[in-house]
Amino acid sequence: MVYADLSKTRWGLAPSIEIYPMNLTSPRRLAPTPPQIETMDQIDTQLNTMNIHDLGTQETVQIRADVTSNEKGTKDIRPYVGSVAIDIVMTAPEKLKKYLMLDDRKNMALISIVAMVESNCFSIGAPKTIAEFLLASEHTVIECEDGNTIQLTFSPAGDAASANKGSFLWCHVIIGAFDPTKLADLITAIDAHMKKLGLDAVRTKAITDKNAGTWTKKVHVDLKLTPNRVFNRTELSQTEFVLPASMRAKINWGKDMRAHYGLCTGPCSRVIKTVEFGEYGESRIGVDKNNCMCKSKSDGPSVHEKKRAANAYWDRNMKKKPSPGAGPSGT
């Protein structure tokens, strides 16, 4: 058993690899049945003969990963997104594993993982080759950081029941867990919708899970007012727009932007604050709470705190989990 330490490299250059011995044991991906072995061999051959950077141009395939065994019986599976991501990396064929770990796991953003608590499953979106690798494996057993052990069963989803410095004009756009919309198509739709509201999208950045490094199906959008257009803040209550395949995207306006335009701090984004003038011309802020249809949410940790926690998370787990080499049938 070995552990490969991949140093940072520029895009397209081979990494420098140092090999360290490991003597670890833990449950890994369940041993495949004979038909799966043939499929896994085909996938391994495909990876070894293809240009690995072409993964970024492949179509995205949606997978459902059902939690079929949960040792602790934990109902909230959201904290296990990172463990699922690490399992995908550690059980992947070697060439794919190295690619996903390059440049501080930058390529993990090709994979989206969303925990669906009510359905007790994870939605995984991944390039076709990675999706084929998971579907061929069918099952995996994961040792989570809290000591819990969960087992996942993979199936096709179809078969399964930051702002510019000093700017306050920004928002987050979120799409559904099984929404197959590609990032490029989502950006095009965002541009069109914002123009209808009197805003221009000047920069769009995909948001990744701070631990797993996978795309959370959320993007950050920096905005500016559209020149020569009268802006009406009440239009900001239009927080949903239609995407291809009859899907819908949701908008969450930035905190400072909400405060500036007097919007409610929850998803409805309705105008609840107005300037009222008294008998002698004095002004004050009037609040109409009847317009608010939702509750506000508290802020979480800072970006730097999340990054430090994510690096520590990967360091702990990559040292703990064994590397089975090429293929998913390690011990």
Question: pLDDT tens digits for 266-308?
Answer: 888 888 877 655 555 555 666 777 777 775 445 567 667 778 8
> What pLDDT, on the 0 to 100 scale, is given for residue 282?
53
Q: How far from chain centre, in Å, is Cα 9?
A: 23
pLDDT digits (tens, 9 = 90+) for 9-50: 333 333 333 323 333 233 444 444 444 445 667 777 788 778
Give me the residue label for tokens 């109409």.
Answer: 288
Q: What's the confidence (pLDDT) of residue 296?
A: 43
* CATH architecture entry for 170-293: 2-Layer Sandwich (3.30)
Give, as one character, the DSSP assignment of residue 219.
E
Please, where are the H alpha helices in 197-329? 255-261, 303-320
Average the pLDDT over 299-319 and give the result: 78
Q: Which residue has the tokens 């209808």?
A: 196
pLDDT for 162: 38
Query: 207, 205, 227, 226: which is closest to 217 by C-alpha?
Result: 207
CA distances from 69 to 129, 151, 153 (A): 26, 5, 9
Query: How does pLDDT run across 168-180, given as a tens digit for each residue?
Result: 789 999 999 999 9
Question: Is the four-CA dihedral 143, 146, 150, 155 of positive or negative sign?
Answer: negative
**Amino acid identity of 293?**
M
Integer Cα distance of 36 and 135 in angstroms: 9
d(CA 64, CA 154) in angstroms, rounded, equals: 6
Q: Is there a contact between 213 and 105 (Cβ–Cβ < 8 Å)?
A: yes
Q: Indicate yes or no: pTM above 0.85.
A: no
Distances 95 to 14, 44, 57, 90, 254 between C-alpha atoms, Å: 11, 9, 17, 11, 40
Q: With beta carbons less than 8 A apart as the criterion, state whether 221 and 203 touch.
A: yes
- pLDDT of 172 reads 94
Closest CA to 62 of 267, 288, 278, 215: 215
Q: Where are the domains of the chain?
A: 2-159+305-320, 170-293
The per-residue pLDDT for 275 is 60
18-30 in b/e form (b: 16+ CB < 10 A) is eeeeeeeeeebbb
CA-CA distance, 31 to 63, in Å (whole number)? 20
Closest by alpha carbon to 183, among 130, 109, 241, 120?
109
Pull the structure tokens for residue 252.
């969450």
What are the E-state strand segments in 7-138? 17-21, 60-70, 112-116, 121-127
**Helices marked H in the chain — which ranges?**
34-49, 81-90, 94-105, 128-137, 183-196, 255-261, 303-320
> 160-169, 206-215, 274-283 — which is least confidently predicted?
160-169
Q: What is the pLDDT of residues 126-136, one digit of tens each?
A: 888 899 889 98
Return the pLDDT at 300: 64
* Residue 326 CB neighbour total at 10 angstroms: 17
How many Cβ atoms from other residues are within 10 Å of residue 138's Cβ?
17
| pLDDT value at residue 25 | 31
pLDDT at 47: 80
CA atoms within 13 A on the CB side of 196: 12
Mean pLDDT of 193-217: 89
Q: How many helices (H) and strands (E) does the chain have?
A: 7, 14
For residues 33 and 146, the model is more confident at 146
* CA–CA separation, 237 and 36 (whole Å): 50
For the segment 225-243, what is each residue's pLDDT rounded down to a tens digit?
888 877 888 899 999 999 9
- Please give the residue that has the higher pLDDT: either 162 or 70: 70
Name the nearest CA neighbour of 98 among 154, 21, 19.
Answer: 19
